[in-house]
Structures are given as structure tokens and as C-alpha cells.
Structure 1
Amino acid sequence: MSSDDSLSPGIFPAGPDALLVRFALTPCPAAMDAAQVLAARLDRDPPAGVTEIAPALVSVLLRFDRARTSRSALADTVLDQARAIAAQPPAPPAAVRRWTIPAAFGGENGPHLDDIANKLSITPKAAIARICGDDLRVLSIGFAPGQPYIGLLPEEWDLPRLTDMTPSVPAGAVVVAVRQIVMFGGASATGWRQIARSAFRTFLPDRSPPMPLRPGDAIRYVAAPESEIDMLARNSDGLGGAKLEVLA
């Protein structure tokens, strides 16, 4: 992950009724924070005509009603806000919600945990403690329905992706790379390193809501035995024993 924290906000068209506000070309921490701040501000006070606000790692997508506003008018309004944030980057907004999610670490549930611990010159137990010790944040939802990108982990966790793809990790797999965590809602190929498995399903089309996580949510993992995860996976709600706490 790039350590260049310079921000250069720009506006780009995205289809007939959307625009993208981007703070940087690479996922530097300052750009991630800026995208979260802008998305939170726009969510609290959306410009006229905006129908959807979708934050990504270093950008925010805005969809708008062309009968109520124009791309140029919206771009002028939003670019002013983005430039103000880039000029004096504030801390990301405080989390409104926290999910506590059980996960089984290591062994068959996390076949890359020992290797990661070795790379970090710590024990697997210490690596688990670091993952579970602090709140992380949902930085973005994407790639697959409901799939979260969670972070940021400390700088020493800036681990590259694997050189070869793992053909399949199971639903609920917790994988890491480039200071981030991804939880897979279904079995998937990946180049990220699997450290754990949860029974949390990030997307179930018949559940309300189908995608329970939101950008900006706090995530706290708690270590659990494999037998508990297997039992939680049988629950029809697909939440895998996760608990939601409203913080504000």
C-alpha cells in the first residue's frame, strides 16, 4: 500500500447519471480517511438531486436525478467540499455502529496464519490478539454483494498478495493483504491470505437487510473455537453469532 499521503481530489463522469469524486490514485491512508469524511458529510446533508452515495476506498460515487440537477452543478458543489477536506484532512468520522464477529483462527480455518506470524516475527497467538484487540472499520463494500474491505491494520501488516491464487476459500473466510481484511460471503478464489473463518454471511438475498454491513461500521473480531463456528453456521439468519451495538 502506498505511503504517499498527497491528496488531489478530482471529479470524473460515471455513466449517464453519476459522478466519481476521487482523492488519490493509490489507497493511501489519508485518501481513505478523506473518502470516509466526504461520504459522511454528504450522507448527513446530501446535495439536491443526489439519489445514492457509495463510498469506496479512496473515492465516493454519487448518483443523481437528472431532472433535479446537472452533472456540472453537482460537480462544482462536491469538488469544493473535497478540496476543503484535502487541504486540512480531518480524522475519519466516529463509528455509529459496531459489529462483534466470532471467528476461528488458524489451522484449517486459517492456513496462512502461521506464515503471517512468521513474517511479522511474532507468535500466531500475538497475531490473533492484534486482529482482535482493536476496532477496525468497514472501508468499502464491493467486488461481490455485501463484501467488506476492513482496515486499516498496522503498517507491518502491509503484506503483498500471494503470487499464486488459492483456488477456493470457504464462505466466511477471513483473509488479509495490504493492511486490509476481507470476509467472503461465499466460496471464492483469492490471492489473499486466509487467517480465520467466521459464520457471518455478508450477503443473503432473502434476509432483511440482505447486506448488513455498511461503510464506516466498526468491526471487532473475537476468537472462537471451530465447533462454535460450525454451530453458528447452522443459524438461518446468517449472522454467525455477530452482535450489533449502536454507538451513537
Structure 2
Amino acid sequence: MTDATANDWPQIRNVGIDGLLVSFGDRLNEPANRAALAFLDALERDGPEGIEETSTSLVSTYLRFDPIHCDHAKMRAALGKMLKARDWYDADLPSGRRFWRIPTVFGTDLAPQLEEAAEAAGMSAEDAIRSISETRVRVQTIGFAAGQPYLGELPPDWDIPRQTQLTDKVPAGALTVAIRQLVLFSVSTPTGWRHIGQTAFQLFRPESDTPFVLRPGDEVQFDPTTPEKLDAMKADGPEGGAVSETLK
């Protein structure tokens, strides 16, 4: 049994008059995130009748249902039956996910907090770049801003805190780090996460049929590049030099 499955997890809790939250743990870990993504996929493919909306957070799956046709007790019973049907912590991730390679400038004036973050992780700047760029991370959830992914988990050395003071603003495409996670910013905004890399990748494309480019379960690797090459990649369009393939 993993830490994720201990202490009476998963749990089903009420959210308002028409929602339920299925949580697979009380903190982020790979099995709990995997379970939340797999359970969401199962709900969307073959969930109980009456579900009107679904989404995930880092370790939970949310659903909103029509209370006229199904009350909390009936929906809870149906979800409980699904939860007992298999080990969700060891479930396959949903099909149709993509693997993205995103060119990234680490450090320089474009991402000025690399050395500070590396020091907090007990590394040199060069080792920090190697550690981040060689780690294939998963989109664990989308949140905070439109299309903005939280990605992880990074190696334990990267369990560094957020800043105590906000950075006034990071640009769209900024790659930031804290608490064994990366956040790739979809908009320009203040943040308490340290800015270690910069991409030309446009995450939010409101004019597109699929405005959120990255989806929970997708995998990403951030490939080092130079400021000059990144500037040229901006002419490639919203991908900014990024390429992707479908995962089998």
C-alpha cells in the first residue's frame, strides 16, 4: 500500500447542492494524481447518469450533477461502486495524451532567478538546468489562469519554498519553480514562484477551438536553448518552436 492509499483514502465529499469531490490523498504525490486523472477519464467515458460537469485538481476529481434526477446519496453510491472496482492509484493514464518538447532559455536576463532557485535546491546553476531539463514532467492540473499548467513532480532536491515576497510580474511563457513543481505561465502576472526559464510557447489561445493547449496528463520536457534561437522561434507562431507527439 502506498502513502496515497493510506488513512482511508479515497474520500467522497459534498460540494454544494450539486457537486461531489473524490479525493485520493491530502497532498500531492504521483499515485494520487494518477488516480484523479484516471477516475476523471472513467467518469467521462462511463460515469453515472446525471453528471453535467467534471474536472480535476492535483489529487481530486470533481463532478457536478443534476440534483433533480439524482440526489447525493445515489451519486455517492454509484461513485463508491466505481472506486471499489479497481486500484485507481495504479490505473493507466488516459489515452490521447501528448508529449511536448518546449525550447526554454534557462537563466540570463530573461529568467533572472535561476541561480537563486538553484542555491535553494543545493545545486550550481549548471546542475539545476540539467536537473530540470532532463526531468520529464506531467501536467498535473490546470489552474490559477486560463490554460496554465502545474507540472511535476521534480526530484526531491526541488522541494524548495515559494518566495516570501511576490515578484511584481513575470511574462507569459515564464517557467517557474517551487515545492517540486513547475508552473508555466499563460499570462503575465505577479508570482511567488522563482522565474528560472523563459519560453515562447503560447498556452492560452482564445481564438482556437482548443484554447487550452496543454491538458492534464500531458507530459513535457523543457529543452535548453539560447535567447537568440528563442527569439527566432517566436516567428514559428504560437508553438514557439515546441513540438509534440501523441503518447501510446
Give TM-score scaled by structure 2 length. 0.87
Q: Give 2:93's aligned residue.
A: 93
In the TM superposition, residue 176 of structure 1 has moved relative to its aligned partner by: 0.6
Q: Give matches, 1:147-226, under 5 Å.
A: 147-226=148-227
| Matching of residue 34 in structure 1 with residue 35 in structure 2 | yes
Residues 59-109 of structure 1, C-alpha deviations (whole Å, 9 max, x = no match): 1111224455333222222234346667x7316627731111111111122
Q: Give 1:242's aligned residue.
A: 242
Residues 141-188 of structure 1, C-alpha deviations (whole Å, 9 max, x = no match): 111111100000011111110111111011110001111110111111
Q: Residues of 1 paired with 2:109 and 2:3: CA distance?
A: 37
Residues 187-223 of structure 1, C-alpha deviations (whole Å, 9 max, x = no match): 1100001110111122121123111111000111111
Q: Which residue identity is paired with 2:246?
A: V
Indicate the larger mover: 227-236 or 210-219: 227-236
Q: Residues of 2 paired with 1:72 and 1:247: CA distance?
A: 38
Q: Give matches, 1:16-27, under 5 Å.
A: 16-27=17-28
Indicate the larger mover: 149-158 or 108-117: 108-117
Q: Which residue identity is paired with 2:154?
A: L
Indicate the larger mover: 93-102 or 212-221: 93-102
Q: Residues of 2 paired with 1:194 and 1:74: CA distance?
A: 43
Partners of 1:9 and 1:83 within 8 A in 2: no
Q: Residues of 1 paired with 2:57 and 2:51: CA distance?
A: 17
Q: Give 1:10's aligned residue.
A: 11
Partners of 1:10 and 1:79 within 8 A in 2: no
Sort the Cα spacing of 1:51 and 1:94 in 2 relative to 1 into closer, same or farther, 3 A. Answer: closer
Q: Residues of 2 paired with 1:91 and 1:106: CA distance?
A: 37
Indicate the larger mover: 67-76 or 132-141: 67-76
Q: Give 1:233's aligned residue.
A: 234
Q: Give 2:122's aligned residue.
A: 121
Partners of 1:102 and 1:221 within 8 A in 2: yes
In the TM superposition, residue 128 of structure 1 has moved relative to its aligned partner by: 1.4
Sort the Cα spacing of 1:232 and 1:66 in 2 relative to 1 into closer, same or farther, 3 A. Answer: farther
| Matching of residue 130 in structure 1 with residue 123 in structure 2 | no
Partners of 1:165 and 1:190 within 8 A in 2: yes
Partners of 2:121 and 2:159 within 8 A in 1: no
Gaps of at least 5 residues in structure 1 are none
Give TM-score scaled by structure 1 length. 0.87
Partners of 2:168 and 2:190 within 8 A in 1: yes
Q: Give 2:146's aligned residue.
A: 145
Partners of 1:229 and 1:240 within 8 A in 2: yes
Q: Give 1:81's aligned residue.
A: 82
Partners of 1:34 and 1:85 within 8 A in 2: no
- Between the two proteins, the alignment pairs up a number of residues equal to 244
Sort the Cα spacing of 1:134 and 1:28 in 2 relative to 1 into closer, same or farther, 3 A. Answer: closer
Identical counterparts, % of pairs: 37
SS in 2 for 1:214: coil
Residues 102-151 of structure 1, C-alpha deviations (whole Å, 9 max, x = no match): 11111122222112222333332222122121321000011111110000
Sort the Cα spacing of 1:234 and 1:13 in 2 relative to 1 into closer, same or farther, 3 A. Answer: farther
Q: Give 2:52's aligned residue.
A: 51
